[in-house]
Chains A and B, each alone.
Chain A
Amino acid sequence: MSKIFPKSANKLPLQIILFVFILAGVVTAATTYYATPKYTRVGYAPVQPVPYSHALHVGQLGMDCRYCHSNVEKSGVANLPTAQTCMNCHLHVRPDSPLLAPIRASYESGDPVPWKRVHQLPDYVYFNHSAHVDRGVSCFECHGRIDQMEVVQHAQPLSMSFCLNCHRNPAPQLRPLDQVTNLAWTPAQMPDHAKWAADFVKNNKVIPPTSCTGCHR
């Protein structure tokens, strides 16, 4: 009988097994890195119609988050400011700047400025800003150091595991209510944050839901 397979075919099964293992490792690593929100969402920074700088307004001028996002403590939605809010100052500050043309147009017509949405949770997720902000969860936890951003970018993955990490153990992320909008604050600035947080959880009934229906209503 003539040979059907060359001698090198003896090594083939081992090579195939090795290849499958390497391929599985590469696919797993690549999926974990490239196909999770840590990669697909973090860093998203669309160009906005007006080059509004949080670094200038919040970081340098010291404006509070709630000056513009005024309903965040009362509403589920952290509202975007209307052009009127901008014009409170910009009627007097750089009133003729060409960069502010869309704001002035909106102020006159009443049509909103077409901001590009950066943080968008899926429709099947219920999220309430006031429920978080009023229980000592800072803007920083989800949005990062907005006060240092020239252009707003997606700072955290906002994946389900990101939410659950905090919902399962909220205490380390909590801070006094008067520091919620102070993005530079860290727990290290408090002498005994762990004890304070434990008391805060108890007194303010911080009971984040971890059941499916907590968020998927």
Chain B
Amino acid sequence: MVRLFHKVNFDWLANRRIFIIVSILLMLAGTGSAVFRYARGQAPFNLGVDFKGGTLITAKFKQRPSAEDVRAALQHAGVHDAIIQPVSSKPDEVLIKLPRLGSEESAQDEAQVDVGRTKVAEALKSFGAQVAADQDFAAEGNSFKIVGTDAVGAVAGAALRNQAVAVTLLALVGILVFISVRFEWTYGAAAVIAVFHDVLVTLGMFSVFYWEINLTVIAALLTLVGFSVNDTIVTFDRVRENLRLHRRESLYKITNDSINQTLSRTIITSGLVFLSVVAMVLFGGEVLRPFSLALVIGIVFGTYSSIAIASPIMVWWQQRVERQTPRPAPARQARATDGGAGGERKHSQRTSAPSDVPAATCLRRFG
């Protein structure tokens, strides 16, 4: 039998300070990079056409001219500050990015999203004739076709941005509510803080390396949210189960044991998802690249945070809550007996378990 991480006995919670400092440093690095870029007059994040507005054109050439030639041709046609990016995986394609033309107000202008494509097509005609996207290149001479256009006006860009943020926050609230119902609200809060941390760290990396953020990156962040919460729940589930089995143990010890018991599963699953995502980075093509990159980073930190961030916060918070509201044990038992419903009984067992240990022990062991 092949085994990974068998009988690990590591005191995760004892090292919580180190973990939390590492996380804070990572988040600071991201925030620092964003602030630094902003201070230097640069955009804090490399927002793609989806969020910033602008035009992204994919042109396919019979013989691809160099990026400099394309830039010269565009400038000749009056298109300045275009970003020209030869597609690395395909030797005949070039991505041309144009920033949003005109000011915010001109978003009202109906020509807004048209200008880019027409101008670029005009400029590229200096390399050869234009061919319709679904036709073959002419036999003679160089020719090109525009195989893709993404043009987003300022209004739509802002709307997409706001929507992405709102949807992410809503999803987090949904997760918080669900975990609070299934566990305790402190568990939910801890899980959501951990996930929030993952999103921040990943976004921070995107600022540091100035990778482009487009709509698919948002999809990746949302996957990461689901994924990181998954890991956290697996651990919390074990904590809940162990609390029921070992009612004399402290929450601290039980959480540590639970992390260790589920460690092999956590690593294997994360490793497998990591493998599928690496496959996406390598074979998924240019379009999926930002998405896959976000996931690669996200999975690493998502796994780390469910072990090193979510659990310590949960333990700390849960103990704090129980210290602040010391309810007499008999009252709670009475509720459990007359409560009737199975769910409720489970609930009270789980909360009463750590309080069976004298609070002083709890504190000594944890703090």
The reply to whether chain A is a binding partner of chain B is no
